[in-house]
Chain A
């Protein structure tokens, strides 16, 4: 029994500590500090290559950073621990404050403190008329200025600026709602990317995605059916001397067939995503796909069509692999480099000097080997599995290399076949995603900003009048109180109230300190 009681009291203490403003503040600052390494160190989700470079460059202590999760700060346990604690602490702060606020809204302003003479702007004097007359005048004056007024037999107290706490609470509640919206989104959403070559189509099924990630509560069967055909992709690059080669415009013309079978022509741009049903389609990247035809030793076409090459630098030097597993008598494969604007560099190698295809060239080396049994096992289309293949060489033993221009054909030695470089197409990398809960994030973010602006501009103020009846006149005492700093004009407002009560204001010299 006593153990249980002790446990309860300990839990109470833990809850009180966690939900105190001090703890919340410390957690907030710790969150800020914890986020800093995430912006300075390369992070796995955004730049996996940066991480492996960093690991290679710092072999001594980078592995320790890795073990502690510094290369995936925002997915690490300790980061999650901080923000979950903060989240709980925030809720623990909001609930009692909301309750207190709702009570304050129903209640009248509190009665004046015992002595007004220690409050800022305190003024005292004598006015003509009974206390009721004076207080009526004060009350009318205050109500006209949109104060909430509490009238007692010998006093009036008034308060204004309730919206400050409203804004404050709206901000904090909306902050929580924003986080709930984001969490909801990551649970129920999916995000996938697919590379689509001009002229080809994508249909929204799991197998068509190159990368696919979904929240825990998402089932692939929830993918809504639609197809999207990339008709044409236009790219413009800067040709002038300033920032030459920088991207200037990307426009994808697509034909979308939605779930109902309705077909529409649409335009997809970098800042102009498409929405198809509940799916958003974003344009993420682009590149080149050389169109090639591979003939085998028997003269049959073993492969024909565009092959997606992946860009390696800003001028779109692209690498890829052309595979012709059905070539006979030997299967063929080519490791290729596509240069959109080929030019020989100083050292004799070929480089691309501009991202647009002004002088496209395809450089390949050739691999050949005996046919392989079809296993049906998935294979990386961008890498060549060299098991069972031998690289063709020139007479001297150097690897055989060939450079092709558009429209040319390279005959492989010893009648093994040929490779034709027929042309090139562009491909686009599209991201298809859903954002359930997006509206919640949007609305709560906007309300949060609004609430914060209100809470930082509205400045609550209290004013008090107390009277003491004399025979024909009334002695009164007036003062005010600001609950936030940085507000001016209290003296003026007290003076106006004093005047409304029928008393000429004579400020006590010690009391013009209005912002303590």
Chain B
């Protein structure tokens, strides 16, 4: 019964994310103001604290209402989402990340909570559309494609490392995604600035420079955590399988993802890459992360074949 309510809550959250996304899309579409030309290129870095990431120009009433509705619905959706994850854990009698469905829903729950903190505390409401888009697709896929009924864990996961390894992976995954979204928005925004900042919702985004920095901050947070995820996985593998590293497809792609982000940080900190090139590397990293997460689970068989999806 608990499992039923968990599924109900998850499906509800997926639908609500869709509604919230529609609100945000309407919000973007309803922007009429043209961005003042003086705020265009290169002066973005004048504000530094998180507060300044809030979109600058005044909002129209309609736009504001739509945005607030989107945010309010996301709050409700996040509540049902977290409830769904908790109930799933209760129904299974264990931490709810034993298969792909549970991992996706948990990871997205962390992502939505992060987003809500950013939107409510730091005024980063402009993340609304891309984040609700991600949540709608992710949660929608989870409840339709990835769904498996509650079952016990496979013996390979009976370990305390299971908790450590997965929660680190889910948290760094959430941060990689937000960093990646900021990188994508950076590319859009910087192009928009180059052609003269022709208004629309893009004028609600922070300047390209600020987006670039947000992307960096999230990735710089996620990277040590991802390193820890891979390292904890290796230690667990040594304990459970008697080798630290065995070039299992999942291990390999995790390393590839790690290398891409390591490249990103080095390029940024040491070589001084910024903007477009850095954003592209960040997006490649995100693609690699998703491929590792979805592609490897579904396409390649290996020691991490835990999706529980019958093929």
The chain A residues found within 8 Å of chain B, CB to CB, are 21-22, 24-25, 28-29, 31-33, 35-36, 38-40, 43, 45-46, 73-74, 182, 185, 191, 238, 240-243, 246-250, 269-271, 273, 280, 282, 431, 433, 435, 438, 441-442, 445-446, 448-449, 452-453, 456, 484-486, 488-489, 512-516
Q: How far is the CA of A31 from the CA of B270 in the complex (A)?
A: 19
Residues of B near A488 (CB, < 8 A) are 48-49
B113 on the interface (CB 8 Å rule)? no
A242 touches B148 (CB 8 A): yes
In the complex the two chains form, is B242's CB within 8 Å of A435's CB? yes
CB of A452 within 8 A of CB of B224, answer yes
Contact of A486 among B217, B247, B253, B255 (CB under 8 A): B217
Q: Across the interface, which residues of B come within 8 angstroms of A485, CB to CB?
A: 213, 216, 268
**B256 within 8 Å of A by Cβ?**
yes
Q: Within 8 Å of chain A (Cβ to Cβ): is B64?
A: no
Task: Pick from B155, B249, B262, B268: contact of A28, CB below 8 A.
Answer: B262
Quick one: given A29-B263, A433-B242, A446-B231, are A271 and B158 in contact (CB under 8 Å)? yes
Please measure, in the bound complex, the distance between the C-alpha atom of A35 and the C-alpha atom of B268, giving whole angstroms. 23
A39 touches B253 (CB 8 A): yes
Q: Which residues of B contact A (CB under 8 A)?
A: 45-46, 48-49, 148-159, 161, 213, 216-217, 220-221, 223-224, 227-228, 231, 234-235, 238-250, 252-253, 255-256, 259-260, 262-263, 265-271, 296, 300, 302, 308
A512 contacts B46, C-beta separation under 8 Å: yes
Is there an interface contact between B156 and A31, defined as CB atoms closer than 8 Å?
no
CB-defined A-B contacts under 8 Å, sample of 29: A25-B266, A28-B259, A28-B262, A28-B266, A36-B256, A40-B249, A40-B300, A46-B302, A238-B151, A238-B152, A243-B151, A247-B155, A270-B158, A271-B156, A271-B157, A273-B242, A282-B241, A431-B241, A435-B242, A438-B244, A441-B238, A442-B238, A448-B231, A449-B224, A453-B224, A456-B223, A486-B213, A488-B48, A489-B49
B296: nearest residue on chain A (CB-CB)? A39
User: Which of B48, B253, B300 is most buried by chain A, counting CB atoms within 10 A of its CB?
Assistant: B48
The answer to whether A32 and B247 touch (CB under 8 A), given A271-B155, A271-B156, A452-B227, is no
Complex: chain A residue closest to B246, CB-CB = A46
Chain B residue contacts of A241, Cβ below 8 A: 149
- A25 contacts B300, C-beta separation under 8 Å: no
CB of B23, distance to nearest CB on chain A (Å)? 32
Tell which of B158, B234, B245, B246 touches A269, judged by Cβ atoms closer than 8 Å: B158
Nearest CB of B to A219, in Å? 20
Contact A270-B156, Cβ < 8 Å, known A431-B242, A486-B213 = yes
- The docked-state distance in angstroms from the alpha carbon of A21 to that of B266 is 9
- Find B220's partner among A28, A33, A486, A489 (CB 8 Å cutoff): A486
For A484, list chain B residues within 8 Å (CB): 269
Q: Closest approach, in angstroms, between the C-beta of B150 and any C-beta of chain A?
A: 7
Contact B300 A39 (CB under 8 A): yes
B245 touches A182 (CB 8 A): yes
- Whether A32 and B259, one on each chain, are in contact in the complex, defined by CB atoms closer than 8 angstroms, is yes
> Is the pair B48, A515 in contact by a Cβ cutoff of 8 Å?
yes
Q: Per DSSP, are chain B's interface residues mostly helix, strand or loop, or mixed?
A: helix
Complex contact B247–A38 (CB within 8 A): yes
Interface contact A516-B224, CB-CB below 8 Å: no
Contacts of B159 in A (CB 8 A): 271
Residues of A within 8 A of B216 (CB): 485-486
- Residue of A at shortest CB range from B220? A456
Compute how far the CA of A242 lies from the CA of B7 in the bound complex, rounded to whole angstroms.
15
Q: How far is the CA of A175 from the CA of B150 in the complex (A)?
A: 40
- The residue in chain B whose Cβ has the minimal distance to the Cβ of A454 is B224
Chain A residues within 8 Å of B241, by CB: 282, 431
Instruction: Known A-B contacts: A35-B255, A240-B151. Give 15 more (CB < 8 A).
Output: A35-B252, A39-B247, A43-B247, A45-B247, A182-B245, A242-B148, A242-B150, A270-B155, A271-B155, A273-B240, A433-B243, A435-B243, A442-B238, A449-B224, A485-B213
Distance (whole angstroms) from the CB of A22 to the closest CB of chain B: 7
* Contact between B155 and A250, CB atoms less than 8 A apart: yes
Q: Which residues in A have their C-beta under 8 angstroms from that of B217?
A: 486
Measured between beta carbons, the chain B residues less than 8 angstroms from A514 are: 48
Instruction: Tell me the bound Cα distance from A250 to B260 in angstroms.
Output: 38
Bound-state Cα–Cα, A22 to B271, Å: 8
CA distance A96 to B73 in the complex (A): 55
B228 partner residues in chain A, CB cutoff 8 A: 449
CA distance A28 to B246 in the complex (A): 19
CA of A35 to CA of B253, assembled, Å:
8
What are the residues of chain A within 8 A of B266 when measuring CB–CB? Answer: 21, 24-25, 28
Chain B, residue nearest A75 (CB) = B247
B269: chain A residues within 8 A (beta carbon): 484
Chain A residues in 8 Å Cβ range of B302: 46
Q: Which listed residue, B231, B235, B242, B296, touches A280 by the CB 8 Å rule?
A: B242
What's the Cα separation between A484 and B217 when bound, in Å? Answer: 12
Distance (Å) between the CB of A447 and the closest chain B CB?
10
CB-CB nearest in chain A for B250:
A39
Q: Is the CB of B227 within 8 A of A39?
A: no
Known A182-B245, A270-B156, A486-B217; contact A515-B227, beta-carbon cutoff 8 A: no
Q: Is the CB of A35 within 8 A of B155?
A: no
CB-nearest residue of chain A to B50: A488
